[in-house]
Chain A
């Protein structure tokens, strides 16, 4: 099956980065791309949320948050026991893998669209819902309830971080304004989406290449974990999606979200909450390995399983 062209941009960035080419997007351009990406996803989800809001959706949301709590709790003992990582590193990586990557979500949506596979259009809501719970679980796993952490400061970090704020703000604007009112904004937020995603992925390829170097210092366990754990968590996502009655496309998205690992919101939060955890270890795994694995191999695999389970 043909590869989605946006993935080629990632591959191009990755190769250019590995060759140490002097290629990079200026910081403000990266910022603008990530703003556009997050707002576009939020707005689209918000419009659909207003159309599909129901008690069933509420139940789905609660179950998805439950998955966000469960996944880091499952990953933590594996990282501690099999990986022999110290408490902070294990908790930090568990939080990365319990939370989600918006970039991976965007590639999954684009992949499904290019194959004409329908999915519930409000699933951007799940991205927002899955960002934060794993971070809180990770902090509690490392520091316990009795910690001296300033939770007010941490709350600002979690809920006023760029990705939660822009996705949440986009969802609200989309839900309040509705699709028709937003039509004049479509050239920026809809038509340009794939181009923006392609440029964003080019930059992520360059950044991921820089993260692969430190992997060599961290041993084989983290490499195996970064590839096998997403397969396990995707399985959890597929089962949950199936139980919630999502379409095969929706199950694919939920599996992708479960399999993806955060490389933007969680690293920043962990740096503040667990300063003695090694940020290069968790970023090497989530961005250097899991992100490329998911967008190159994971998504088609999860879609295959989702469709088989859906009986189509």
Chain B
């Protein structure tokens, strides 16, 4: 098996209507790609069931360097945390092709 390389998985869960804006931020900050999934759940902003347009959440997952993940997380914190339903977390992951991330 090829050697595994360490990268950072940044997971963002936020109001679905922020998706295009957060994705634009990810591109601008240098993320090479991400995966978006519609999700539902409960948090400080109450229950978000996700079955109509003003009630959905989205989960964005980005695998990148630890340094970039921290930069993105700091930006999200400053830009969105005070007014929007958003959480994000970082985790260490192993990848096969480090050049993709």
Contacts and interface: CB of A to CB of B under 8 A. Distances in A.
A162 B16 CA distance: 14
A190 interface: no
A116 interface: no
B54 A263 contact: yes
B65 to A, nearest CB: 29
Interface in A158-211: 162, 203, 207, 210
Contact of B53 (A24, A25, A264): A264
Interface residues of A, number: 23
Interface in A202-227: 203, 207, 210, 214
B84 interface: yes
A25 B49 CA distance: 11
Interface residues of B, number: 17
A114 interface: no
B46 A271 contact: no
A231 interface: no
Contact of A268 (B47, B49, B53, B84): B53
A25 B51 contact: yes
Given A271-B17, A272-B17, A207 B55 contact: yes
Nearest to A277: B83
Contacts of A81: none
11 contacts: A24-B51, A27-B52, A30-B51, A30-B52, A203-B51, A203-B52, A207-B51, A264-B53, A264-B54, A271-B84, A272-B17
Pick the 9 closest A-B CB pairs, nearest first.
Answer: A275-B83, A267-B54, A27-B51, A24-B51, A30-B52, A268-B17, A276-B83, A271-B17, A207-B52
Interface of B: 15, 17, 21, 38, 46-47, 49-56, 82-84
